[in-house]
Chains A and B, each alone.
Chain A
Amino acid sequence: MTQEKTNLELNAVTTVNDSVIEINELYKSFGKNEVLKGVNLTVNKGENLVILGKSGSGKSITIKCIVGLMDIDKGEIKVFGSDITKLDSVELNKIRVRIGFLFQNAALYDSMSVRDNLGFTLKRHAKDLSAEEVENQIKEILESVGLSEAIDKMPSELSGGMRKRIGLARTLILKPEIILYDEPTTGLDTITSREISELVLEIQKKYKTSSIIITHDMPCAKHTSDRIVILKEGVIHVEGTYEELEKSDDEWVRSFFI
C-alpha cells in the first residue's frame, strides 16, 4: 500500500499554524563540544517533520531534549504551549504521556514479553482499565502494527523489523498526540524500511499524530515527510519540502538527495 502525498496535500498540511512543538534558540554542549548552537524549530499539528543531518549533528539530541531526557544549556522548548525546561517532574510526565518516542533500537524491555512490554506502560497510566480491557487494547494495537501473533514472544525472538513495530505499538498504546521517531528504518532491509515508512504514514492518518522523524534513509524521508529541515553545525541550515530541497541551489543540501 503506497500512500504518497500530492503537493496539494503537502501545502495544506504545512500552512496550518497550530504548532505543537516550538523550539527557540536551543543550545546544548557536552564539555567543550557544542552540538546545538541555537536551533529554532516548529512542528505544526498533524505534520510529519523530517530532520536530516550528518552523523553527530545533534538530531537525536534535539528530540531527546524535547522529551526532557537531556537537560539543555539555553533556550526554550514549548510542547503544547508549555516550556518543558521549566516544568517539575510531575508536570513533565503529564506532557510525556502525550508524546510517543520510538528509539533507534526500539528499546524493548528484554525481561518482558511483548504483551508485558505494552501492558507495563498502559497499566500504569490507565489504572481504571480492567485486565480484560488492557488485554483488548494490547491486541488492538498489535493488530494495527500487523503483529498480533507476536503477543507472547520475548524481544529476543523478534527480528529487527518486528522489534521496530512492537516499539511503535508500545509508543501508540498511550495514544500520543506527538511521536518522535529516532531513525525508524536504520538497520532494516529495503522492503522492511518501506513497510515501516508506510506504517508511519498510516499512524499519522489514523491517530492524527504530529511527528518528528530523524532519519538518514532518503526513501523514508521522501515517503513520510510533509516538511524537511537539515541540521548543519548546530543550527537549522535549510527548510522545505522534499521536492524543494532536492532542487536546492546549495550543493551540500543536494548531496543528501543523491
Chain B
Amino acid sequence: MSTTLTAKKENIISYLKETFYDVGKVTLFALRFFKEVIKPPYEMKEFIKQCYVIGYKSLPLVTITGFIMGLVLTLQSRPTLAKFGAESWLPSMVALSLIREIAPVITALICAGKVSSGIGAELGSMKVTEQIDAMEVSAINPYKYLVVTRILATTLMIPLLVIYADGIGIIGGYIGINIHSDVNFYRYLAQVLESITFLDIFPATMKTFFFGFFIGMIGCYKGFNAANGTESVGKAANSAVVTASLTIFIIDMLAVQITDLFF
C-alpha cells in the first residue's frame, strides 16, 4: 500500500517537474523572439512570404466564415429582438457582437487550426528531416529565419484578417436582415457606424495582436521541438492547434477583464 502511495507521489512530482520544465522552455523560447527580432540581419523576403501564406492564403476561409457568422448571428437574434419590438437595433447588435467578440475569437480559432497547425507540421517536418540542423551547421540562425519571420507574420496578419472578417460579417448581417425585410444598405451601414465607438474597436483589435503572436509562437515552438520520427510531426501539428485554441480563450478572458478595468 505504502509502495503504491510512494510511486504515485513520485509520479506527481515528476509530472510537476516536467510541467515546470516545459513552462520554462516555452517562456525562454518566447523571450528569445524579442532578442532576435531586433538583431540584424532581417529576413524580409521570408517575412513577406509568410505574410502572403498566412494572410492572403487564409482569405477564402475567413471570407466564408466571416460571412456565415454575420448571417447566422442576424437570423438567430432577430426573433428575440422582434419579441421586444427592438428589431431596429439588429444592425447595431450584430456589428457590436462581431467587432467586440465573435469575429476576433472565431477568426483566431480558425487561424489556430489552419496556421498554427501548418507551422507546427512544417517546422516539425524540417526538424525530423534535419533541415533545421542543416541550417544551424551552415551558421544560419534557424530561429531567426524560421521562427521570428513566422511569429511576426502571424502577429501582423491575424489582426488584419479579423478586421476583414468584421467587414465581411457586417455584410453577412445585412443579407440576413434583407431575407425578412427590405433595408437600404447605406442606411444599414450608417446605423452600424453610428453604434461603433473607438472603445469597441481598440481593445478588440489589441487582443488580436496577442492572438496572432501566440498562434505563431505556439506553432513554431511545437514544430521546433518535435521529437524524432514522422509520428512527432502529426503530434506537433495537433498539439499546436489544441494549445493555441486554449490560449486564445485564456487571452480573450484576460482581455475582457482588462477592458472592464480600464474602459
| Interface, chain A (partner B; CB < 8 A) | 64, 67, 69, 93-94, 96-97, 99, 101, 103-105, 107-110, 120-121, 124-125, 170, 174
Q: A99-B137, A108-B131, A170-B138 given; name 19 further pairs at CB < 8 Å.
A: A69-B136, A93-B139, A94-B139, A96-B136, A96-B139, A101-B137, A103-B130, A103-B134, A105-B129, A105-B130, A107-B129, A107-B130, A109-B134, A110-B126, A110-B129, A110-B131, A121-B138, A124-B41, A125-B138
- Whether A69 contacts B138 by the Cβ 8 Å rule is no
Smallest Cβ-Cβ distance to B49: which chain A residue: A111
- Whether A96 contacts B129 by the Cβ 8 Å rule is no
Chain B neighbourhood of A94, CB < 8 A: 139
B133 at the interface (CB under 8 A from A): yes
Partner of B133, one of A69, A93, A120, A174: A69
Among B134, B136, B138, chain A packs the most CB atoms within 10 A around the CB of: B138
Smallest Cβ-Cβ distance to A111: which chain B residue: B122
Closest Cβ–Cβ distance, residue A180 to chain B (whole Å): 8
Bound complex: CA of A96 vs CA of B140, how far in Å?
10
Q: A105-B129, A110-B129 are in contact. Are A174 and B138 (CB under 8 A)?
A: yes
Smallest Cβ-Cβ distance to B125: which chain A residue: A110
> Residues 31-54 of chain B: 1 if any A CB is under 8 Å from the residue's CB, otherwise 0?
000000000010000000000000
Could you jot down 15 A-B contacts, CB within 8 Å? A64-B133, A67-B137, A69-B136, A69-B137, A93-B139, A96-B136, A96-B137, A97-B138, A97-B139, A101-B134, A101-B137, A105-B129, A107-B131, A120-B140, A121-B138
Bound complex: CA of A108 vs CA of B125, how far in Å?
12
Closest Cβ–Cβ distance, residue B149 to chain A (whole Å): 13
Bound complex: CA of A67 vs CA of B133, how far in Å?
10
- Whether B130 contacts A125 by the Cβ 8 Å rule is no
Smallest Cβ-Cβ distance to B133: which chain A residue: A69
